[in-house]
Amino acid sequence: MSKKSEVLSPSLKELIRKFSKNDVIEEMEKEYQSVAAKKIPLSLIDDTSFIRRVDLPKETIERMSKGISEKGLWNPLLVRPSGSHYELVLGRKRYYGAKAAHLNEVPCVIAEVSDEETLLMLLADTRDQREGNVVEMALVYQELSERFSYSQATLANLAHQSRSQVTNTMRILRLPDHVVREISEGSLSYGHAKAIASLSEQEIEEVVRLIHEENLSVRQTEELAKQYSRLPSVSPDQATLLKNTYHCSNVIIKKNAVTLTFNQEEEKEAFIASLLKK
């Protein structure tokens, strides 16, 4: 291995020592502020590929946009070259705030950083934020685990969490896409997500509906999830037969009860009428 490549590829031990520190991103941003920023058109900056699927809450973007419109964008974004464009590394809220404020160009510091270092920066940034997004953290964990063979013990060390917390965070990515989106947008809490992560997709859909309709707390959701986990599972054939026969959206079979869920009031009334005719 050449001397140059050794410099560009720090060892795992060095990376862990650097990025496990508290406020490492804050220190790095102070360093970047001393570097001459370059104005880059927003049209040439792409969102970071690793967490692009995570939607920021609209309220966050609106708040950032308002601040930028009133005071300007003084803190530069950190980007890295990506073909003829640049990829965002740090400053995602500012990036979307600048877009919402209809800025044509923004100040940027350009850094030559690898995928692994970019992921570690994102991990440290999400870890140290007061409003860190758990879905972002889960995606970063997954990438570091799958692409760079980071163990859960190493991830826990970097994130200042226990191994079980790392495991629970990664499990939310197994939830249906729309549920993951609700978590990233803040309409469903991480506590709710953790409570339902071990349920079947059918049960998850039913519990999420109840969370919203009945405004269930995390504790209530945990109790409900325990009840579901103790139920005998319904076979796909039984569920399909009941759904097709009674035109319902969901079926739950307990030891001594069957629950049918309908999307519309009219469908429920039609089902009741069909029973009364028999």
Average confidence (pLDDT) per 10 residues, the chain, 278 residues? 37 68 68 79 96 89 94 90 95 95 94 91 84 87 93 90 93 92 90 91 89 92 84 61 77 69 81 76
Task: Say if 117 falls within a structural domain.
Answer: no
Task: Say if 52 falls within a structural domain.
Answer: no
Task: Say if 211 falls within a structural domain.
Answer: no
Contact 54, 133 (CB under 8 A): yes
pLDDT for the residue numbered 100: 96
pLDDT for the residue numbered 86: 97
Give the three-state DSSP class for 246.
helix
Query: Torsion angle, CA of 115/117/119/120, rounded to 10 degrees?
Result: 170
pLDDT for the residue numbered 30: 66
Instruction: Judge if pTM exceeds 0.85.
Output: no
Task: Say if 245 falls within a structural domain.
Answer: yes
Task: Say if 242 falls within a structural domain.
Answer: yes
* 87 alpha carbon, distance to own chain's centre: 19
Task: Say if 2 falls within a structural domain.
Answer: no
Helix (H) or strand (E) holding 81, with range, is strand 77-82
Task: Say if 257 falls within a structural domain.
Answer: yes
Count the domains in the chain: 1
Q: Which domain holds residue 244?
A: 232-278
Task: Say if 19 falls within a structural domain.
Answer: no
